[in-house]
Structure 1
Amino acid sequence: MTPAPSAPPRVPFTVKGWHVAAGVVAFFALVIGVDAAFLTLAYRTHPGQVAPRPYETGLIYNAELERQRAQEALGWRAAVEARPDGVTVLLQDRNGQPLSGLRVTATLLRPATEQGRTVLTLTEAAPGRYAGDRAGLSGVWDTRVDAAGGGHSFVAERRLTWP
C-alpha cells in the first residue's frame, strides 16, 4: 500500500496591501453612513426653524434693539420698589434730576405662569416718584415699567419680591 499523498503545507496568513485598503475604505464607509443617518434624523425632527414667522420675528427684534439704543442715549434711570400696598418707581434723567409729568404704567407678571397678570397705572406722588396701589401681592413678580412723555419713551424691567 502506498501512503496517501499528504496535503500541501499551509501558507501562513499575511496582511497584504489590498487588505489594508479594504479596511480603510470599510471604516470610512461606516463613518459616513452613520453620519448620514444622524443628519437625516436630525433634519427630520427639527428643520432649524425656531419661529413660525422668522422674518417678522427678526423685524421685531431689530425694532427692540433700536428702542434700547434710543433709551440708552436718553440716559434715564429707574428704581423700582415693592411696597406692601403696591409699587413705587423713581425716574431720573442722566443728571439724577427727577422726571415729572410722565405717563407711567407697571405690568406685573408671574415668572412661571400667565395667571395674575396685572397692569397698574402709576400716579406721580412726588417729583419723579410714581406709585400704584395693588393690595394682596405676594411672591415673585416680573415688573415692566413703561414711561412716556415729552416725545420720549422708557422701559425698565425688574424682578420684585413681596413677602
Structure 2
Amino acid sequence: MNQTSKKNKSIIPLLLAGLIGIFIVFLGWSARQASTGGTDITDRDYYSKVLKYNSTLVEKRAASVIGWKLSSRLVGRILTVNLSDKTGRPIDGAIGRLVVSNKLATALPLSEKSPGAYILELPAHYSGEFPVRIDFERAGARISRQLLLNIGQ
C-alpha cells in the first residue's frame, strides 16, 4: 500500500508537467496564428458596408412609413425615375440626384419633367455597368435606392 501511494505521488508531477507543456505548446500555436494575419476571407470595407446597409434599411423603413415608392427605367442614356406615394399619386417638388459610385462620388441632379417624373440624360462618358444611388428629398422626408446601371455602347 505504501508503494502504490509513492507511485501515485510520483505520477502527479509528471502529469502536471505534461499539462503545463501542452498549455505552452497551445500558447505558442495561438501566438503564431495571431501573428500570421489570420484568415483570407476578410473584407477591409466590412464595417462601412454594414453601416451603409443599416442606413439603407432605416431609409427603406422610413420611406415605407411615409409610403413613398420609387421606380426607374433606362432607355438609351435617358434615366426616368417615378416617385409616388402609397396611394400611387405622384410626388412633385422633390429634389432628386443620382450619385455615381466612383472614386469622385459624382452627383448629378434629376430634373422634374412632370409631377412625380424625374429625368436625367447620362453623360456620354458613362458606359458599361456601374453602381449608382438615387436620392430624393422633400419637406424633410428622404428616400434612397441603390441601382446597377448598364449602359450599352
* Same fold (TM > 0.5): yes
Could you tell me whether the CA contact under 8 Å between 2:98 and 2:132 is conserved in 1?
Answer: yes
Identity level (%) = 21
Q: TM-score, normalized by length of structure 2?
A: 0.65
1:149: which partner in 2? 138
Q: 1:81 to 1:118 in 2, by over 3 A?
A: farther
2:28 to 27, 34, 37: 37
Tell which structure's C-alpha radius of gyration is larger.
1
Q: 1:129 to 1:158 in 2, by over 3 A?
A: same
Paired letter, 2:78: G
How many residues end up aligned between the 2 structures? 133
User: Larger % of helix: which?
Assistant: 2
Please list every run of 5 or more consecutive structure 1 residues that lacks an aligned counterpart in the other structure.
1-15
Q: TM-score, normalized by length of structure 1?
A: 0.62
Q: 1:20 to 1:124 in 2, by over 3 A?
A: same
Write the distance in 2 (CA, Å) between the matches of 1:85 and 1:71: 28
2:81 to 82, 89, 97: 89
2:4: which partner in 1? none
Paired letter, 1:33: I
1:133 to 121, 128, 131: 121
- Please give the root-mean-square deviation of Cα atoms over the aligned residues, in Å: 3.6
Please list every run of 5 or more consecutive structure 2 residues that lacks an aligned counterpart in the other structure.
1-6
Cα deviation, residue 87, structure 1: 2.0
